[in-house]
Amino acid sequence: MKALLLIDDGFEELSVYLPWYRLKEEGVDVTLSTPLMHAVHGQHGYTIEPDAPLRSVNSETFDLLIIPDGRATELLRLRSEAVDLARTFLESGRMVAAIGHGAQVLISAGTLDGRTVTCSPGIRDDVRMAGAFYRDESTIVDGSLLTCRGPDDLPEFCRRLMAMLKAPTTVRVS
């Protein structure tokens, strides 16, 4: 199992580190990718060295895409490589997990129409305008898409993510 975690400057540390380490505990090979191959800085001062630049990522080699929360999503959604990755994953039925503002990348990818999602309350109107059904819940699974409201809901997010990894056939909306 291989996971791709998208990061950029302004990432929300908890929404990167908790899933990253939880996946590593399960033996998942996690690749951290950024638009440019340089260290990125989180909202609270932590720095991460990426493993690969977005432009060199072959999406076919990954089973899971994770888009964490934070101001970084505003930068990522402006990068065609990140938007194309999100679209490719969802269109092929592979797992995508978006935390908080991570749904902004999915909005830019045009992949939320008709889906039921949760996200940071600050962008709920944006996901509605993108054609999604918004629910104010900690996490939502809609097919191969797992969305999370934000860092306070990460324990539930990690539990549901692990369940999805163990049972790849997911039920539409729960």
Q: Which residues are catalytic, by number? A: 101
Which positions ≥6 away from 15 have C-beta within 8 Å? 68, 69, 70, 99, 100, 102, 148, 150, 151, 154
Map residue 2 onto helix, strand or coil: strand
Round to whole Å and give the CA distance between 86 and 145.
11
Q: Which residue from 119, 115, 7 is spatially nearest to 54, judged by alpha carbons? A: 7
Residue found by looking up tokens 């539990």 in the block: 159
Map residue 164 onto helix, strand or coil: helix
* Inter-residue contact 69 to 12 (CB < 8 Å): yes
Round to whole Å and give the CA distance between 120 and 129.
15
The CB-side HSE value for 65 (13 A sphere, CA atoms) comes to 31
